[in-house]
Amino acid sequence: MAALSVTETAIPGLLVFDLPLHGDARGWFKENWQRAKMLELGLPDFGPVQNNMSFNAAPGSTRGLHAEPWDKLISLAHGRIFGAWVDLRPGDGFGTVVTLEMGPDKAVYVPRGVANGYQALEPDTVYSYLVNEHWSPDARGSYTYLNLADETVAIDWPIPLIQAEISAADAVHPRLADVTPMAPKRTVVVGAKGQLGRALMALLPDALGLDLPEFDLRDPEAIASVPWGQVGAIINAAAYTAVDAAETAEGRRNCWDVNVTCLARLVEVARAHRIPLAHVSTDYVFDGTEELHTEDEPFTPLGVYGQTKAAGDALVATLPRYWITRTSWVIGDGNNFVRTMASLAERGISPSVVGDQYGRLTFTTDLAAGLVHLVTTRAASGTYNLTNTGPTLSWAQIAKRVFELSGRSADDVAEVTTQEYFADKAGIAPRPTHSTLDLTKLEATGFTPADADERLVAYLS
């Protein structure tokens, strides 16, 4: 008896499975959908939530062509069909056709945006399919249709359509020339107005950007207003990052609310709708005693901010599909250390800067590009360190470099210890001494961030 096997087709993602039928004098038995075995053969873990069946009384019953806004796995319980699939997704494959005559010994995985149609070839054909979204009357507005008789794709139906049983709705679907390709699922950027959010939106112009005050994760109605069924990934760029304010009574409450409570709601959205979540973390989850931090180093946060981010990482890691990107010393379109030093240099001020905290800068252009890379390539779920490349430097060394690039002498920056710098300041959060993150795991995915000094030169120019 043949084993379960899979065949790829001319339409990317459209897979044909050969299902072993175990039969005797009583009939047959088959494993119609076997998650573990099929995943091993390449079936996406598409998470079906609904099983539909269609009974076709007579040969010639013909349905389609419908591209639906979800994935499906089709099979037969009885009878035979002639199946036809047409790629209606944007790109070079638009209009590609695959046809197949099939019985109960086959199953076909149909990805979102590929139109599906079939014609019953035997009486009492029972057509069954699993889908990974719940159907509702409103869902029809998201379908993309193609006429069964379209001359361009020219499907050779075994029973001519003039003799077939076709619904009135299917008979008037548009020809291929009039079909608008089904748009891919959108990415949602939470915290779209922040400096990282703006960098992400620049890379993802079709993304849905969400931020306060219009979108508040504390508001169930705001969460319900988002069409999550049409979302392919969530990137969370929102966070409470005022590390010193987090040490106050009010700041502690706000920091836990944003970085843990609100994040927990976003995690539950991702879980409920089976959406991959990319989340930004920080070097502050460590105490900084290790000179180089790897992704598997245990949490050792020193302050409230680091504690909330560590708790958030643990929440995100409960999802089936996620990417936690741990970063440090972020520089983007907004107030930050580099802008402050450049302003001091321009105004003729000679600052004192901490010289015993070490790390690398992370420019939001590269942080955003790395996040998009992990999401679009569907890298393995897990935690990835993501900063710019280059040597480890102290804050004072970076300040001196900013002064040089601004036409001032590096000697105009005085180097002090952390203890000296904060000696007369109250309510200061503890900082990790060492913040350099090992980038080996990220680079193995095919993404290497730019050199920090090159980015610094471009940023100041």
Q: Is 330:284 a contact under the CB 8 Å cutoff?
A: no
pLDDT at residue 133, as a whole number: 87
The tokens 């269609």 sit on which residue? 54
Q: How confident is the model at residue 1 (pLDDT cuts 50, 70, 90)?
A: low
| Tens of pLDDT, residues 82-112 | 999 999 999 999 999 999 999 999 999 999 9
Are β-strands 186-190 and 231-236 bridged in parallel, bridged antiparallel, or unpaired? parallel
Q: Using CB atoms within 10 A of its CB, is residue 34 exposed (0-12), middle (13-18) or buried (19+)? A: middle
Map out the domains of the chain as residue ranges: 5-178, 186-460
**Within a 10 A sphere around the Cβ of 217, how many other Cβ atoms?**
21
| Tens of pLDDT, residues 7-30 | 999 999 999 999 999 999 999 999
CATH of domain 5-178: 2.60.120.10
Cα of 114 vs its chain's centroid, Å: 21
Q: Using CB atoms within 10 A of its CB, is residue 160 exposed (0-12), middle (13-18) or buried (19+)? A: exposed
Q: Using CB atoms within 10 A of its CB, is residue 92 exposed (0-12), middle (13-18) or buried (19+)? A: exposed
What is the per-residue burial (b if ≥16 Cβ within 10 Å, else e) of 274-311?
bbbbbbbbbbbbbbbeeeebeeebeeebbbbbbbbbbb
Given CA atoms 371, 373, 376, 380 in this order, what sign does their dihedral have? Answer: negative
Tokens of 347: 């105004």
Higher pLDDT, 2 or 296: 296
Minimal CA–CA distance to 452: which of 363, 373, 332, 322?
363
Cα distance between residue 92 and residue 213, in whole Å: 40
| Tens of pLDDT, residues 280-293 | 999 999 999 999 99
* For range 371-384, the mean pLDDT: 96
| Tens of pLDDT, residues 105-132 | 999 999 999 999 999 999 999 999 999 9
Cα distance between residue 331 and residue 195, in whole Å: 8
Helix axes 395-405, 452-460, angle to 10 degrees: 40
Same fold, 5-178 and 186-460: no
Minimal CA–CA distance to 368: which of 293, 456, 260, 280?
280
Tokens of 289: 């005693």
Q: Is 326:385 a contact under the CB 8 Å cutoff?
A: yes
Cα distance between residue 242 and residue 277, in whole Å: 24
Q: How confident is the model at residue 398 (pLDDT cuts 50, 70, 90)?
A: very high
Cα distance between residue 213 and residue 201, in whole Å: 18
* Residue 229 C-beta-side C-alpha neighbours within 13 Å: 18
| Tens of pLDDT, residues 52-79 | 999 999 999 999 999 999 999 999 999 9
Residue 428, φ and ψ in degrees, nearest 5? -95, 135
According to CATH, the superfamily of the domain at 186-460 is NAD(P)-binding Rossmann-like Domain (3.40.50.720)
Cα distance between residue 445 and residue 441, in whole Å: 7
- Residues assigned a catalytic role: 66, 129
| Tens of pLDDT, residues 431-444 | 999 999 999 999 99
* For range 319-335, the mean pLDDT: 95
